[in-house]
Amino acid sequence: MSAFMSMPILDNLGAMPDRQRALTNYRHLANNYDSTCTRIEVLRRDAVRALGLQAGQTVFDIACGTGSSLPLLAEAVGVSGHVVGVELSPEMAAQACRRAAAGSNAAVVRVECCAVEDFRPTVQADAVLLSYTHDVLQSPAAIERLRAITKPNARFVLLGMKTLPWLWGWPVNVFNLYRARRYLTTYTNMGRPWAALAAHGAKIEMIKPSLWGSAYIATAAFNTSATLNVRSAH
């Protein structure tokens, strides 16, 4: 435990997300990123199902990474639907674009390389997927942006890691946080990753623990949306 306490990992407790550090991290992670995600594929499919998507709807995949969820989302909304992946890292977004281009064209799929705070869609979303996007969920500006670009009562589904109660779960927490240091720039709210979303007015409808409590799927919705500020379609 003392070795852990001396690690810079604890500097991230209570910190705000660091965009520049995230860009640096994912520049190095992008090429082999998919190989590190095989154990969550079942959870990914569960999260997409939890969105309850219908044909013709619009869904945003926030911090979409290499685009692993894009084909599942495209299949769910069908040929009349729209899927937009948003990814900060150019290296990750490039892979997502290739995956989208190689898809079955079941829906209109595109990828935008930008921070969530800078995302300016032309339409509001019916649903939002946030899969292993802890940094985004701890950014007040990102949360307010998400609220502004979604329809009232849009379904949010969150999938990610969380810590166990420290009293008995500290060995697992130490291992998981150390392993996650390459992917996260803040450990704020790791016990309740959805807390900031709730603090901004979202109703957390369901929380389902997984992987022995070290992961979760949660659903949420805002009863009303913020003033829309979308990009002109002209």
Average pLDDT over residues 193-199: 97
- What is the pLDDT, as a whole number, of residue 227? 45
- What is the pLDDT, as a whole number, of residue 15? 76
CA angle 215, 50, 186 (to 5 degrees): 35
Average pLDDT over residues 138-164: 97
Who wins on pLDDT, 33 or 227? Answer: 33
**Can you list the domains of the chain with their CATH numbers?**
2-222 (3.40.50.150)
Residue range 29-73, pLDDT digits in tens: 999 998 888 889 999 999 999 999 999 999 999 999 999 999 999
The band of 16, judged by pLDDT with boundaries at 50, 70 and 90, is confident
- What is the pLDDT, as a whole number, of residue 159? 98
CA angle 43, 47, 50 (to 5 degrees): 140
User: In this structure, are residues 60 and 123 in contact, taking their beta carbons and an 8 Å threshold?
Assistant: no
Least confident residue range of 5-19, 83-97, 104-118:
5-19
Flag whether the pTM goes above 0.85.
yes
Q: What is the mean pLDDT of the chain?
A: 89
Residue range 96-146, pLDDT digits in tens: 999 998 876 667 899 999 999 999 999 999 999 999 999 999 999 999 999
What's the rounded Cα separation, in Å, for the pair 184 and 25? Answer: 9
Percent of the chain surpassing pLDDT 70: 88
The band of 5, judged by pLDDT with boundaries at 50, 70 and 90, is very low
Q: Are strands 150-161 and 202-210 parallel, antiparallel or unpaired?
A: unpaired
**Ordered DSSP codes for the chain:** -HHHHTSGGGGGTTPPP-HHHHHHHHHHHGGGGGGG-GGGHHHHHHHHHHTT--TT-EEEEET-TT-TTHHHHHHHH-TT-EEEEEES-HHHHHHHHHHHHTS--SSEEEEEES-GGG---SS-EEEEEEES-HHHHT-HHHHHHHHHTEEEEEEEEEEEE-PPPHHHHHHHHHHHHHHHTTT-S--TTTTSTTHHHHHTTEEEEEEEEEGGGTEEEEEEEESSPPPP-PPP--
